[in-house]
Structure 1
Amino acid sequence: MTQPEALRSLLESVAAGEVNPVEAFDKLKYLNYEPVGDFARIDHHRRLRTGFPEVIWGPGKTPDQIAQIMIAMRDRGSVVMATRIEPEVYAKLQEKVPDLYYYAMARICAITPPNFPSGGDPGGVGGVISILSAGTADLPVAEEAAVTAELSGFRVHRLWDVGVAGIHRLLNNRHVVESADVLIVVAGMEGALPSVVAGLADCPVIAVPTSIGYGASFGGLAPLLTMLNSCAAGVGVVNIDNGFGAAVLAGQILRAAHKLHLSQSSD
């Protein structure tokens, strides 16, 4: 059964009273995808299921493939976003998608709806995601997290270059840690910063190891292991250089807290 046939059958079942609207809505969450050429199937209903729309992973795709996917996604009313886009790829994409915006440090391309409130409040969720970087060299990963969170509608507070080699820089900005609802801490080298931050924070800490460091850091493996072995409680760890994944996890934590609050308020 094709998608149009499946949708028609579902609507007919609702009209006949065989399926109630709540059940129909649940089925629709898993129904809709759109083929693009012979190389992609866009999951338009991912936002319904998870709260976040599908995001395009740039590496491994040609500029033409990325552009076709973006054009197919742009009319759905949500942000269209592609990660790990290098400047030369962006230049080619801009020829096909003129209203594309490029966040150079984060290596993210995005199309936002006209009324999109960047850094706003998605559905009244509330909360602040504070993002800390150990060093300036960690900024591409930290900015990937920050821009992803902002494009998802969350409020973000940035604090860069506060690594443990000069711990006073962090301690002089403890208010950032104390005011956060979720913390994302990005660090390379030995990756000690998340453990230090978690010892000061009363909220979840998401640690992001980066591939920054000398040879014995093994491309981020050393900070990854440090973060996994953190002596501070409340630290979760994502994969090496995965700023995007950290931002999505932070957003889900805030959404879950919001849902719990609504549930308690209605009791």
Structure 2
Amino acid sequence: MDLRELLEEVKNNKLDIDSALDKLKDFPSEDLGYANIDHHRQIRNGYPEVIYCEGKSDEHILGIIDKMNQKKSNILGTRCRKETYDKIKEIYPDAEYEELSKILKIQNQDIINLGKGKIVVVTGGTSDIPVADEAYYTAQFLGNKVERVYDVGVAGIHRLLNKRDIINSARVIIAVAGMEGALPSVVGGLVDVPVIAVPTSVGYGANFGGLSALLTMLNSCASGISVVNIDNGFGAGYLASMINKLD
């Protein structure tokens, strides 16, 4: 039950004040010792808290999911191990997993499309897809129409130009690239909408684990480009969703 439902039940005399106070004891946050769950984040930001699974034990992830599930929150987990998902699936049969992007999803409420337009996710190469899919599924789970245009990097610029109709239909574009990271600059020069650049760690030695792509994107001569951290598909999907929902 979310706060709005709780207040509606009190208003309609379906729930007494003492019972409502008991339900509110874990608001705005719930301290589990190893995690402090922010149950009010959806009220403040429009989205529930997202679980970053990497570095967390299976026990801690399951504990967080249990508390969020009790609140009927939609649950999104990033960087989730397949072995962890298998354990979650045994307890929560409705859990879904996108293996390439390592995205975990448990949908307890209908996902309402509040986006004003479409988000398009573009990649330089096929090797960038795991990060791009993290952005894709994040934006989709947060209530947006999302389309993918993959493997259209600058090494064969005609591939990108052949997708101009899709790119021009976007309200926000997420451009994901490794190697030298030139794709966002090219895309930024073709469109009149915000471009969110995502550098990936894909590349040979002088790529420095994505640092070269990051610096290229930060130094882009095209206007209207913002840059998130290396391999941060989630951050790009989240930001794109916020932009897409602006009036």
1:34 aligns with 2:24: no
SS state of the match for residue 167, structure 1? Answer: helix
Question: How far apart are residue 138 of structure 1 and its match?
Answer: 0.3
Alignment match, 1:69 = 64
Question: How far apart are residue 90 of structure 1 and its match?
Answer: 1.7
Alignment match, 1:21 = none
Alignment match, 2:87 = 92
Question: How far apart are residue 238 of structure 1 and its match?
Answer: 0.3
Question: How far apart are residue 116 of structure 1 and its match?
Answer: 2.2
TM-score (norm 2): 0.86
Q: Which runs of 5+ in 1 are unaligned?
A: 1-6, 12-27, 259-267
Report 1:225-244 matches (<5 A): 225-244=215-234
Report 1:1-267 matches (<5 A): 32-36=28-32, 38-113=33-108, 116-117=110-111, 121-122=113-114, 125-255=115-245, 257-258=246-247
Amino acid at match of 2:104: C
Quote the RMSD (CA, aligned, Å).
1.8
Contact 1:67 1:96 in 2 (8 A): no
2-side partners of 1:76 and 1:201: how far apart? 41
1-side partners of 2:206 and 2:169: how far apart? 35
Amino acid at match of 2:161: L
2-side partners of 1:71 and 1:81: how far apart? 13
Contact 1:64 1:93 in 2 (8 A): no
Contact 1:221 1:240 in 2 (8 A): yes
Question: How far apart are residue 252 of structure 1 and its match?
Answer: 1.3
The farther-off stretch of 51-60 and 85-94 is 85-94
Question: Which aligned segments of 4 or more residues in structure 1 are displaced greater than 6 angstroms?
Answer: none
CA-to-aligned-CA distance 1:124-154 (integer Å, 9 cap, x gap): x421111001111000000000000111011
Amino acid at match of 1:99: D
1-side partners of 2:120 and 2:71: how far apart? 29
Bigger relative CO (Cα 8 Å, ≥ 6 apart)? 2
2-side partners of 1:212 and 1:219: how far apart? 7
Question: How far apart are residue 59 of structure 1 and its match?
Answer: 1.1
Amino acid at match of 2:90: E
Question: Across the two proteins, how many residue pairs are aligned to each other?
Answer: 224
Amino acid at match of 1:52: Y
Q: Which runs of 5+ in 2 are unaligned?
A: 8-23
Contact 1:186 1:210 in 2 (8 A): yes
Question: How far apart are residue 47 of structure 1 and its match?
Answer: 1.0
Contact 1:211 1:220 in 2 (8 A): yes
The farther-off stretch of 128-137 and 85-94 is 85-94
